[in-house]
Structure formats: structure tokens, C-alpha cells
């Protein structure tokens, strides 16, 4: 490993403040709780896991046994993942890391993790690597069963997004059917913030990614205001959902932020940008900042058609690789053409940006570091108590960790049937921006004012040391779901 920076060294020493229940693991147990029933259509596909209950962690008498736990990262990186593994390691379990994603399970590529001391509170997934292999053929399932049986694993923890947790549910079902005792537990990961349900308030990595992008957007806003010569079109990651754009818009107040879930036509979008440019020009402002979600392609049929012509491969889960599509450039071209048609005489100098990979492997925020450590500990407890096919759920995240509630929820309760690569598949439904939700309503009430007046806000870099209000806050969209009513007044 390279020499560590001073900040890395300081972060190695950070100790997440945990919910009380996770401090003495011998004094906790799971209690069954009422939860919603899975979709009836899933019963045939999941006969062994269909009726599994949900559990809540409560005080009580825990068991104590030596555990052997496999861990795997699946999909894109997200800040905090190493803390999930550190937490499992710290419970005293023997930890086997599967290398470079789910293919490590199928091909039995693994190594025992004997030392995590250089990975605490650090970004990336490089301790064991990650990958996007989807376990779907009978051969892959059989090979996975062989791997976990050979390793005599008590449990396998899959750290992934919606598709990876779908894989976790399928593996749990397959292992049970085969009489294998290895339990499968999922951890909600993805910067996209689209693995959200009543039980999963946010996936880890979203907070760190948004705070990284928001810093950069704020810097660009200030540059735009200083130099007054460019329109900055900034595409932000988020394969389908615009959760990242919404969170960053709330933090930075750009002149315009497109939200795909409003399902507008291309003409309307271009007209809005053109009008913005013309109106700002009339106000003496030939500069501005516009946020574009990378998932816009999926929601605007005309852009979708243009993207199809690029003939991009889909990933193994059937997702279009939207990060490879220069949506911001397509929009800039269309706006330029429309302005020319309107004989616009002002200046329209543009800079295009794409912020994606910059925010996935950064050092985790205190929120993500703490959330991940709690998730990892909870996963080890699920395996100790022999729960399978469940995802770790922590709620009340906008509050102090003392108030967090810790649950194990059957993954199947999050699933529905969707057409993927032309076939009907059981998957976890992606959580899009809720246009009737508190965060969107607040944003919608403010945005008109942000267009012409420059109401830019500069969040600055992620803070790790000092005032908790500056260092420890949960993402805004999580805080908003815990507010009783949407506030439409400006909080500035
Ligand atoms: P996950 O859902 O696997 O965490 O990945 C999300 C994401 O970062 C998307 O925002 C983006 O479109 C995609 O991964 C990029 O994928 P890749 O790393 O394969 O280029």
C-alpha cells in the first residue's frame, strides 16, 4: 500500500459512536416483528424464504459462538464499505473476503482478511475489490454453493445495491433448498440512493458522494459568479434516479436542476434552458450552473433514442451504462441550436462536467463511517442468530446513533417483478425521487427564485473534526423524511 496521507492516518483513529445495543453484543437478541407480506407472485420463486419474518434487535441474552463469515463487494464503489468489513472483523469472526465481486464466490477466489488496520474509515473497496458479475445460471449458483460449503461459512455478507441484494435473496433461497447452513445477509450500498424503502432510509455511500459533488458544484458556482463568463452544465451520477441531483441542488441552489422523475419531454427541457439563458442575459448575467442527472436518458424518449444509436452494451444486470453517455453535451448542442434559431445575440459560452467516480471512493463522511460500522456489526449478529435472506435495516438515521433502530428485514419484502433483458425477473424496485415527497416539494418551491437571482450556496469540503452540526449530519433527503411537513419557506 502507498504511504498514507496525514488525514488518512487521522481517520484510521476515528471511532464511530455506535447505538448502545451494538456495544455489548452478548446482551442483545432479535425479536420477531410484524412486517409487510411479500408479493404473492414471488411465492413460487422463493418457496423456502417466502414466509420469513422481520426482526428487531433488542436487549436480551445473546449467544456466543465462533463464526466464519464471507464478505463480498458487489457493483460500484461507495464510501464506507471498508467499515462494514472492519466491524465484522471486530466481532471476532474469521473473515473470508471474496475477490473482485460476486465472480470471486463463483470462482472461489478468496483470501482470509487478517488485518484491517489500514482500512478503517477509508474510501474505496480495494481491500478485496469489487465487480458486477450477476449470479444467475444454475452453474453459477451450484459453484457458489460449492464455495461456501468448502469454506464452511456460517454466513455470507453481500455488500451491494438493488441488483446485488436481489442476488443475495436468490442465493439464500438456493442455499436453503440445498440444505446448506450458510446464511446470506445483504447490506444496502450504492451512491445512487435508489435502494430506499420504508425500512431502508438510505444506502451507504450516498452521503459521502453527494457531499463531495456539492463541494465541487459550490466551487463552480463561485467561479461562475466571479468570472461571469460560462454556463456550466454538470452531469451527476445516478443510473436511473435523480436522488443525487436533488440532494446536491438542496445543498448548492444552482440556477437549474433537472429531475428526471418529473417526466418532461425534451422540447420542454430545452425551452426551459433557452428561456433561462435569455432571461439571465436580459438581467446582465451570461453565466450559470445547471445540474443534469445521468439517468435523464431513461426518462426522455428522444434522448433515449439518441442514446440507442450509440449501441452501448448493457451491464450483466441489464442496466444501460449511462455513465458512458454524454447527456450534458447532447443538451448543450440542442440549446445552442435553439438559441441560434431564436437569433440570440448574447454570450453562451459553455463548460461541460461529469461528476461521478470522484464521489464514490472518497473517505467516508462521519455519517457513512458510522452507518457502515453499525451495518457490519448488525450483519454479524444476523449470522450469529442464523437469519438468512435478510437485509440490514437501520432507521432514525437523521437522529443521534443512540436513537437508531436496528432490524433484519427479509429481502423478498422489497422485491417485485420487472422485465429485464426481455425476461420477467424478481428484482428490488429502484427508489426514484418522490415528486410528492418533502424534499422535492421544498426544492420545487424554491427553484424559480434560484433561476435569475443567484442564490448559490457553497457547502465546502467534507468536515471530519469539530462541531457535530458540521461533521455528522445525515443527508438532507433522509432528514426530510423524518420531518412531519414540507417546509416551503426559505431557510437561509
Ligand atoms: P451501484 O448501484 O452498483 O452502486 O453503482 C452505481 C453507479 O455509480 C451509477 O451511479 C453509475 O451509473 C454506475 O455505477 C457506473 O458504473 P461503472 O462503475 O460500471 O462504470
User: Is the separation of the CB atoms in 411 and 216 below 8 Å?
Assistant: no
Domains 6-205+364-428 and 210-357+433-465 are alike in CATH topology? yes
Q: Cβ(323) to ligand 1 under 6 A? A: yes
Q: Cβ(76) to ligand 1 under 6 A? A: yes
Distance 430 CA to ligand 1 centre (A): 13
Name the strand (E) or helix (H) holding 209: helix 206-227
Residues with a known catalytic role:
192
State residue 489's pLDDT score. 38
pLDDT tens string 135-167: 999 999 999 999 999 999 999 999 999 999 999
Distance 47 CA to ligand 1 centre (A): 32
Distance 259 CA to ligand 1 centre (A): 18
Q: Cβ(163) to ligand 1 under 6 A? A: no
Q: Where do the structural domains in the chain lie, given as residue ranges? A: 6-205+364-428, 210-357+433-465
Counting ligand 1 atoms within 8 A of each CB, the residue from 75, 161, 166 with the most, and so the one to mutate, is 75
The answer on pLDDT for 425 being more than 80 is yes
Q: Cβ(190) to ligand 1 under 6 A? A: yes
Q: What is the architecture of the domain spanning 210-357+433-465?
A: 3-Layer(aba) Sandwich (3.40)
State residue 126's pLDDT score. 97
Nearest ligand 1 atom to the CA of 77 is: 4
Nearest ligand 1 atom to the CA of 322 is: 12
Q: What is the architecture of the domain spanning 6-205+364-428?
A: 3-Layer(aba) Sandwich (3.40)
Average pLDDT of span 37-42? 92
Strands 288-293 and 256-257: parallel
Average pLDDT of span 429-452? 95
Pairwise CA distance, residues 86 & 84, whole Å: 6
Distance 433 CA to ligand 1 centre (A): 18
Q: Cβ(78) to ligand 1 under 6 A? A: yes
Strands 110-113 and 231-236: unpaired
Q: Which residue lies with its CA nearest to atom 16 of ligand 1?
A: 76
Q: Which residue lies with its CA nearest to atom 17 of ligand 1?
A: 76
Q: Which residue lies with its CA nearest to atom 10 of ligand 1?
A: 238
The answer on pLDDT for 492 being more than 50 is no
Q: Which one is predicted more confidently, 324 or 38?
A: 38
Helix axes 438-452, 266-282, angle to 10 degrees: 40
Q: What are phi and psi of 29, to 5 degrees?
A: -150, 170
State residue 9's pLDDT score. 97
Residue of 209, 298, 282, 221 lying closest to 245 (CA atoms): 209
What is the rounded average pLDDT for all residues in the chain?
A: 93
Q: Which one is predicted more confidently, 485 or 160?
A: 160
Q: Cβ(238) to ligand 1 under 6 A? A: yes
State residue 1's pLDDT score. 62
Residue whose entry in the numeric block shows the C-alpha cell 487521522: 10
Counting ligand 1 atoms within 8 A of each CB, the residue from 245, 323, 354 with the most, and so the one to mutate, is 323
Burial 197-228 (b: 16+ CB within 10 A, else e): bebbbbbbbbbbbbbbbbbbbbebbebbeeee
Q: Cβ(77) to ligand 1 under 6 A? A: no
Burial 152-169 (b: 16+ CB within 10 A, else e): ebbbbbbbbbbbbbbbbb
Pairwise CA distance, residues 41 & 412, whole Å: 11
State residue 329's pLDDT score. 92
Paired with 73 in beta bridges are: 159
pLDDT tens string 17-34: 999 999 999 999 999 999
State residue 321's pLDDT score. 75
pLDDT tens string 352-390: 999 999 999 999 999 999 999 999 999 999 999 999 999
State residue 147's pLDDT score. 98
Q: Which residue lies with its CA nearest to atom 20 of ligand 1?
A: 323
Q: Which one is predicted more confidently, 36 or 74?
A: 74
DSSP 183: E
The answer on pLDDT for 484 being more than 80 is no
Average pLDDT of span 220-225? 98
State residue 312's pLDDT score. 67
Q: Which one is predicted more confidently, 113 or 417?
A: 113
Using a pLDDT cut of 90, give the percent of the chain over it. 86
3-state secondary structure 445-482: HHHHHHHHCCCCCCCCCCCCCCCHHHHCCCCHHHHHHC
The answer on pLDDT for 174 being more than 80 is yes
State residue 307's pLDDT score. 77
The answer on pLDDT for 181 being more than 80 is yes
Q: Which residue lies with its CA nearest to atom 1 of ligand 1?
A: 76
- If pLDDT is split at 50, 70 and 90, which confidence band does 44 have? very high
The answer on pLDDT for 35 being more than 70 is yes
- If pLDDT is split at 50, 70 and 90, which confidence band does 195 have? very high
Amino acid at each position: 500500500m502507498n504511504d498514507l496521507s496525514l488525514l488518512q492516518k487521522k481517520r484510521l483513529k476515528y471511532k464511530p459512536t455506535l447505538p448502545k445495543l451494538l456495544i455489548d453484543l452478548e446482551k442483545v437478541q432479535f425479536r420477531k416483528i410484524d412486517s409487510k407480506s411479500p408479493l404473492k407472485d414471488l411465492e413460487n420463486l422463493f418457496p423456502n424464504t417466502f414466509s420469513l419474518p422481520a426482526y428487531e434487535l433488542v436487549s436480551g441474552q445473546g449467544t456466543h459462538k465462533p463464526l466464519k463469515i464471507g464478505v463480498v463487494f458487489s457493483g460500484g464503489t461507495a464510501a464506507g464499505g471498508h467499515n462494514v468489513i472492519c466491524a465484522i472483523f471486530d466481532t471476532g469472526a474469521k473473515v473470508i473476503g471474496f475477490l473482485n465481486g460476486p465472480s470471486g464466490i463463483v470462482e472461489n477466489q478468496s483470501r482470509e482478511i487478517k488485518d484491517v488496520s489500514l482500512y478503517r474509515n477509508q474510501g474505496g473497496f480495494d481491500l478485496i475489490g469489487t465487480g458486477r458479475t450477476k449470479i444467475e445460471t444454475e452453474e453459477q449458483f451450484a459453484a457458489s454453493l460449492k464455495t461456501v460449503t468448502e469454506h464452511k461459512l456460517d454466513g455470507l455478507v453481500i455488500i451491494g445495491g438493488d441488483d446485488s441484494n436481489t442476488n443475495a435473496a436468490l442465493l439464500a433461497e438456493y442455499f436453503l433448498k440445498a440444505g446448506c447452513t450458510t446464511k446470506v445477509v445483504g447490506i444496502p450500498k450504492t451512491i445512487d440512493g435508489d435502494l430506499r424503502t420504508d425500512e431502508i432510509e438510505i444506502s451507504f455511500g450516498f452521503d459521502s458522494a453527494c457531499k463531495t459533488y456539492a463541494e465541487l458544484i459550490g466551487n463552480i458556482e463561485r467561479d461562475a459568479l466571479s468570472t461571469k463568463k460560462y454556463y456550466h452544465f454538470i452531469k451527476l451520477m445516478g443510473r436511473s434516479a435523480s436522488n443525487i441531483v436533488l440532494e446536491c441542488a438542496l445543498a448548492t441552489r444552482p440556477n437549474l436542476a433537472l429531475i428526471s422523475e418529473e417526466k418532461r419531454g425534451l422540447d420542454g427541457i430545452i425551452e426551459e434552458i433557452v428561456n433561462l439563458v435569455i432571461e439571465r442575459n436580459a438581467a446582465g448575467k451570461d453565466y450559470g450552473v445547471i445540474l443534469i442527472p445521468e439517468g435523464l436518458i431513461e426518462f426522455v424518449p428522444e434522448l433515449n433514442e439518441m442514446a440507442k444509436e450509440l449501441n452501448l452494451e448493457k451491464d450483466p444486470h441489464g442496466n444501460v451504462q449511462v455513465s458512458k453517455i454524454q447527456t450534458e453535451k447532447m443538451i448543450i448542442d440542442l440549446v445552442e441550436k435553439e438559441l441560434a434559431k431564436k437569433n440570440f445575440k448574447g454570450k453562451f459560452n459553455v463548460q461541460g462536467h461529469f461528476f461521478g467516480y470522484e464521489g464514490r471512493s472518497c473517505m467516508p463522511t462521519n455519517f457513512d463511517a458510522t452507518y457502515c460500522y453499525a451495518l457490519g456489526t448488525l450483519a454479524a449478529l444476523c449470522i450469529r442468530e442464523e437469519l438468512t435472506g435478510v437485509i440490514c435495516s437501520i432507521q432514525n438515521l437523521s437522529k443521534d446513533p443512540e436513537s437508531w433502530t436496528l432490524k433484519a428485514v427479509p429481502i423478498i419484502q422489497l422485491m417485485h417483478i420487472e422485465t429485464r433483458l426481455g425476461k420477467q425477473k424478481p428484482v428490488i424496485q429502484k427508489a426514484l425521487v418522490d415528486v410528492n415527497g418533502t424534499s422535492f416539494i421544498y426544492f420545487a418551491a424554491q427553484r424559480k427564485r434560484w433561476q435569475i437571482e443567484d442564490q448559490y450556496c457553497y457547502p465546502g469540503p467534507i468536515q471530519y473534526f469539530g462541531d457535530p452540526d458540521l461533521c455528522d449530519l445525515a443527508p438532507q433527503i433522509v432528514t426530510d423524511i423524518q420531518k412531519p411537513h414540507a417546509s416551503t419557506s426559505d431557510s437561509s
